[in-house]
Amino acid sequence: MTLDQERALVARLKNGDRSALSDIYQQFGDKIYREAILPRLPVVELAEDVLATTFARAMEKIEQFKIDDKSIFFWLRRIAINLAMDQHRLITRDKKIEDSSKVIAEIAPQGERTDRRSEKIETRELVEESLSMINPRYAEALRLRLIQDLDRSECAEKLGISVGNFDVLLYRASKAFRDKYPPR
């Protein structure tokens, strides 16, 4: 496809012709998927979602695109890379929070068996001692989320922050807790 053909497609797209997006997708979709998304996000289902989101975003933001002397491929590629990296960060953050939660999960209230009661009491004491050694805000975040088992939005509300900020706080709190548990 020549640059002039691309300019014509972009002009049609800017005028609201959705079939132009289909033509652009047929021309560049596979290449963007293989070269920009899949290497950064090797989970096929997520990569396909990112590809679809890339073209939806392109449709939304087409007015911002200036064709100049470059192919639209490079603009689409940048959108795809940014979305793939965002998705990768989200997966990585969620995995780290999940892994950190496993460390503390054993102290959450559960059905007590009498043969494990003393072990749980000892574990709770070790956890509380470790919590006392980290930033009080971190300790509060861990207590709310993992001991009181509140959902993220409730925890964020109690701390007076957004859910996104709470996720960051919980991640940092979990990391600080791992460094202090068990207390030495």
Cα separation of 88 and 32, whole Å? 17
**Residue that wins the pLDDT comparison between 37 and 103:** 37
33 within domain boundaries: yes
Domain boundary among 95, 116, 140: 95
Percent share of the chain, pLDDT over 70:
87
Is the whole model's pTM more than 0.85, yes or no? Answer: no
Cis peptide bond N-terminal to 136, omega within 30? no
Write down which residue in 73, 95, 117 finishes a domain.
Answer: 95
CATH number, domain with residue 28: 1.10.1740.10
CATH number of the domain at 151, please. Answer: 1.10.10.10
Give pLDDT, residue 81: 92
pLDDT at 116: 67
pLDDT of residue 53: 92
Same domain? For 63 and 144 the reply is no
Where in the sequence is the domain holding 154, given as residue range(s)? 106-180
Domain assignment present for 101: no
pLDDT for 1-36, tens place per residue? 788 888 888 888 888 888 888 888 999 999 999 988
Same-domain check for residues 84 and 112: no
20 and 47 co-located in one domain: yes
Structural domains of the chain, count:
2
The answer to which of 9-18, 63-72, 91-100 has the lowest mean pLDDT is 91-100
pLDDT tops 90 at residue 105:
no
